[in-house]
Chains A and B, each alone.
Chain A
Amino acid sequence: MKPASFRYVAASDVADAVALLTEHGDTAKLLAGGQSLVPMMNLRLSRPGVLIDLNRMPQRNTIAVEDGLLRVGLLVRQKEAEHSPIVLAQIPLLAEAIAEIGHAQIRSRGTLVGSCCHADPAAETPAVLLALDGSVRVQGPQGAREIAASDFFLGYFQTALAPDEVATDLLFPIPAQGTGSAFLEFARRHGDFALVAVAALVHLDAEGAVQGAALSLAGVGPSPLRATGAEQFLIGRRAEPAVLLEAARIAAQGIEPTDDVQASAAYRTQLAQTLVERALLIAASRAAREVA
């Protein structure tokens, strides 16, 4: 479990990182928190020729609200976001999700942007970004662009990021007033990769009917999934237990997990239904409190 030899370069800023990526092509890897990359290097599953360290860049740890979006910079550690007053006030769903990531030591190093770029199908941050219809801001040789979360996550550890691009920010739309949310995850132990994780948002109108709903699931496919059928079912209905259960059933019917050593597809499907139902119950009750 010793990494193959590699060259180490510290990028001075994003432009420098892009230049280094352009120079070294796909032999290069970006190092942010290193919580997934370094173990993979130790196992020699990843063997970059050049490791481009982003951690020396100044001013890349911003958490800010801009134009109705919460922007999280590329070096924001999970632990910083988890305890950020801005995150807690604007998108408590994100803080709730981050608390499920690994252990405190991992969250102290791991970054939100890095987690999205790594694109583990069981990861929490991508599921939240997808549920909120967020996007990833990236910079390449041709300049900056934004990629919607629904286009960003392409499959197991695959994203729409080009080999010469650096993801610089995550942009999370801030939910409307009257929205309740919940993040629930089931893992073998606290800190393990999720068998299934669910991000749920329920927006209620003054009469208690569902005006908008968003549900995303992690761990049930190659990348996080939106349960659009269940979301549509909920629109206009009252957020009652029977309705939420039916939505959970629809969500579970819409996934096709595969068997693996931790869980069979059937168990994952049942787990998804249970967690969606419970997440919706919590989100709806939080929304009701917002409305009241």
Chain B
Amino acid sequence: MPSVKNRGGIGDDLLRLEDDRLLKGQGRFVGDMRVPHVLELAVLRSLHAHAEIVSIEDRGASALPGVVHVVTGAQLQEEAPGLFALGQPPLVAGETLYVGQGVAAALAEDRYVAEDALEKLFVRYRRLPVLSDVERIVEESGEAAVTLGDSVIGFGEVEPLFAAADIVLEERLAIGRATAQPLEGRAILAMPEGEGLLVYAATQGPHGLRQGLAKALSLAPELVRVVAQDVGGGFGVKNGVYPDDILVAYLALKLQRPVRFQEDRREHFLSTVHSRAQVHRIRVAARRDGTLLAVDDDILLDAGAYQARVGYGRTTAVTIPGPYHLSAYRCRIRDVHTHKVPVGPYRGAGRPEGNFVMERMLDALSRRLGIDRAEIRRRNLIEPHEMPYDTRIPDRNGNGVIVYDSGDYPLALETALKAADIETWRERQKAPLPDGRRIGVGIAMFTEDTGVAPFEMGVVDLLEDGRIRIASGSPAQGQGHETTFTQIACSALSQTPGQIVYADTDTALVPAGIGTFGSRATVMAGSAVHLACKKLEDMVLTEAGAILGEAKERLSLSPGRVDAPQGGLQLRDLAASIEAKGEHLRAEAVFRPEQPTYADGCHIAMVAVDPLTGSVEILKYIIVDDCGNVISPRLVDGQIQGGLAFGVAAALLEELVYDNQGQLLTGSFMDYPLPTALDVPAAEIHHLCSPSPRNPLGVKGVGEGGTVPALAAIAGAVEDALLPIGGGMARQLPLTPERVVRLASANERQ
């Protein structure tokens, strides 16, 4: 165990403050809450991808002992049509649009009985034609294909550059459908309170959930209070409002009893948003010396049955140009309607896919031109003296243009190459290993927008006992906000961690907020907490100045104290005197930056590939990451290492495979492999530090940087291993053993 030192301010290497509680089983998850008279919800989910519900017959479900309420979609629509006015309905009344969509629900005293009740509901379906394969849909329907979104972004004129280019490469590249698998499934508990609801939810965005529930139920938002306590992983899929959430809230209000829904793993596969699922037709124009000129991409995103709450296709599009100079860029994104689970963000939220296609095309260019993979990147990188760099890419909201804030991309590349000792590996890979496996090396660089979306709020209170409570609109799902935000508060207020109390995100405490996603919590909520702390410091010093008869400029804070040139006072005593006056010190601050921050880095993967079985072993993995100033070194490395696990999953393992009837074929962990500790190498992590000028802490997000370039780095390494034996280009993820075997014997000639 490395030594843990220092006071606990920014940059100190603290152990995670929340782990003592979590490791002792003292976490407070929705499923742990003991609530008298709570009803557990079970949802009957459609067996067919596209079908009309002819009838649902109750053959004894309602009559089962312990069952309190049974409702079908049609009944719900009749009694509460308002619930059906917004997007995806809580239960289907007419046509089911994917396997797993709720058609009826049962409430019982426990989940066992609720599931028994579902078995006594008999649904007659009339099956309808199923849309499954996006390329086939577009091939058959062309521009008439139903899309849930269709947009083009870019800058400059690409066509003249393609016409004049020395080299034009075109490829079809695909990334499989996948989804996050948090240890804790979705969970929500709604309790009637007055005219409204108190809701405990495993959510990444309590305020968005509050707004969604209030809107669906036609309640004033202040009547819905949402609290996010401990949450067992989110990774993007626990954001927004699910149909089941609305159902729980509605039934709790209607029956005036607490109602809980705790998703199980089977329904997680069938009802929690999926992600990735992209097919790209990408063209790249370049000069013979390897200089990139233009990129033109056409993305088909298998969007599923309903409009995504957060469209990540545009995020893919703005990620593609990455750290490279381009003269023109064009990208069309079509969210194609299919009869599958709707899509949403998942660790990286479109960025890994964009990075994958761009980096793969650079590797293709390298192969075509005979220029080394590192060299072709080196020749195209944006230089540090160009910062801030106007990319000319419209931002995702179409409000402005993306301007990178800081970073030294060439240094990231050279640092990674040096750390990887790449020349030695190039030498080693000339011959196969004694067991016949081949060594490959993959390189991928990235930039990513971090700290996205409009604002975040920090709320900081001086408690009666002199400690300081911090809260924000960004709850934690395991990332360690308690540690990170405490360190920020310690630095802002010259305190030690014992003086700081971290509060859950509660809409009753924090009036407004956005949530935790898009590598934003430290950038956005961390900055908001910092600003609120600075406000509180001013308030505390003003109050203390009044008591001590000193100008506040002559006072300063130290752990538990206000120090004055002579004497000073305890924060505890100050707080007591303020409370005695019937007053309370609370500071609120909103952080609302103009632009996100842009993190960057470089990954290098060294793999061994068995061309006969298709097995891939990652032998060594180098990560150079620049997330600006580091608040909590251990947590930052943890985020990067954890992010890499998701990259390994996307590159080699996880895929939600559907058949042409819209049935999910990989609906359990037997068929949907997640990486285990044996599959994820311990990355060698190196940090660069280009502080962002766009927030008071100089930080950039780090939640997704471990994932974003890993797909391309690993795929590039596998391809590299197989090139000497006639292997082809790695175009499709995940690289399952079977796909690797096919790649090995592709016999592609360039």
Contact = CB atoms under 8 A, between A and B. Distances in A.
B613 A189 contact: no
Contacts of A190: 676, 678
A264 B738 contact: yes
Given A43-B266, A267-B741, A188 B736 contact: yes
Contacts of A262: 671
Given A188-B737, A189-B673, A261 B666 contact: yes
Contacts of B741: 267, 270
A274 interface: yes
Contacts of B116: 4-5
Given A2-B111, A263-B738, A193 B613 contact: no
B546 interface: no
Nearest to B657: A261
A195 B673 contact: no
A267 B676 contact: no
A2 B679 CA distance: 31
Interface string A186-210: 1011111101000000000000000
Contact of B673 (A5, A44, A192, A271): A192
Contacts of B678: 189-190
A190 B677 CA distance: 10
B387 interface: no
Given A188-B653, A271-B613, A2 B112 contact: yes
A211 to B, nearest CB: 29
Contact of B737 (A2, A3, A195, A261): A195
Interface in B256-270: 264-266
A89 interface: no
A1 interface: yes
The secondary structure that dominates the A interface is loop
Contacts of B671: 261-262
Nearest to B114: A2
Interface in A1-52: 1-5, 43-44
Contact of A267 (B665, B679, B738): B738
Nearest to B737: A188
B612 interface: yes
B183 interface: no
Contact of A270 (B265, B612, B670): B612
A262 B736 CA distance: 9
Contacts of B679: 189
A191 B676 contact: yes
Contact of B112 (A5, A195, A270, A274): A5
Nearest to B267: A1
Contacts of B119: 4, 44
B680 to A, nearest CB: 11
Contacts of B307: none
Contacts of A2: 111-112, 115
A168 B264 CA distance: 36
B615 interface: yes
Contacts of B673: 188-189, 192
A105 B54 CA distance: 46
Interface in B634-672: 653, 657, 665-666, 670-671
B264 A1 contact: yes
A192 B615 CA distance: 14
A261 B665 contact: yes
Contacts of B676: 189-191
Interface string B226-267: 000000000000000000000000000000000000001110
A5 B612 CA distance: 47
A274 B437 CA distance: 13
Interface in A149-197: 186, 188-193, 195
A161 B266 CA distance: 32
Interface size class of B (residues with CB under 8 A): 20 to 34
Interface in A221-257: none
A87 to B, nearest CB: 25
Nearest to A274: B612
Interface in B673-727: 673, 675-676, 678-679
A208 B95 CA distance: 70
B738 A186 contact: no
Contacts of A263: 737-738
Nearest to A196: B613
The residue in A44, A264, A274 that gathers the most chain B C-beta atoms within 10 A of its C-beta is: A274
Contacts of A5: 112, 116
Contacts of A195: 737
Nearest to B435: A278
A261 B736 CA distance: 11
Contacts of B738: 263-264, 267
Contacts of B736: 188
A189 B112 CA distance: 33
Nearest to B736: A188
Contacts of A188: 653, 673, 736-737
A249 to B, nearest CB: 13
The residue in B613, B615, B653 that gathers the most chain A C-beta atoms within 10 A of its C-beta is: B613
Interface in A53-94: none
The residue in A193, A261, A274, A275 that gathers the most chain B C-beta atoms within 10 A of its C-beta is: A261
Contacts of B614: 267
B265 A1 contact: yes
Interface in A122-150: none
A189 B614 CA distance: 12
Nearest to B734: A188
A43 B678 CA distance: 28
Contacts of A271: 613
Contacts of A189: 653, 673, 675-676, 678-679
A231 to B, nearest CB: 22
Contacts of A267: 614, 737-738, 741
A262 B673 CA distance: 10
A188 B679 CA distance: 10
A186 B615 contact: yes
A186 to B, nearest CB: 5
A193 B115 contact: no
A264 B741 CA distance: 12
Nearest to B666: A261
Nearest to A3: B112
Nearest to B670: A193
B737 to A, nearest CB: 7
Interface in B611-631: 612-615
Given A188-B737, A271-B613, A1 B657 contact: no
Contacts of B666: 261
A186 B737 CA distance: 10
A270 B742 CA distance: 11
A159 B748 CA distance: 47
Contacts of A264: 738
B612 A1 contact: no
Nearest to B615: A186
A182 to B, nearest CB: 14
Contacts of B657: 261
Interface string B107-121: 000011001100100
A181 B635 CA distance: 48
Nearest to A47: B119
Contacts of A191: 676
A254 B111 CA distance: 49
18 contacts: A1-B265, A43-B266, A44-B115, A44-B119, A186-B737, A188-B653, A188-B673, A189-B676, A189-B679, A261-B657, A261-B665, A261-B666, A263-B737, A267-B737, A270-B612, A270-B741, A274-B612, A275-B613
Q: Which 8 A-B pairs have the closest CB atoms?
A: A1-B264, A261-B665, A267-B738, A2-B112, A274-B612, A188-B673, A2-B115, A189-B673
Given A5-B112, A5-B116, A192-B673, 16 more contacts: A1-B265, A2-B112, A2-B115, A4-B119, A44-B115, A188-B673, A261-B665, A261-B666, A261-B671, A262-B671, A263-B737, A263-B738, A267-B614, A267-B741, A274-B613, A275-B613
Interface of B: 111-112, 115-116, 119, 264-266, 612-615, 653, 657, 665-666, 670-671, 673, 675-676, 678-679, 736-738, 741
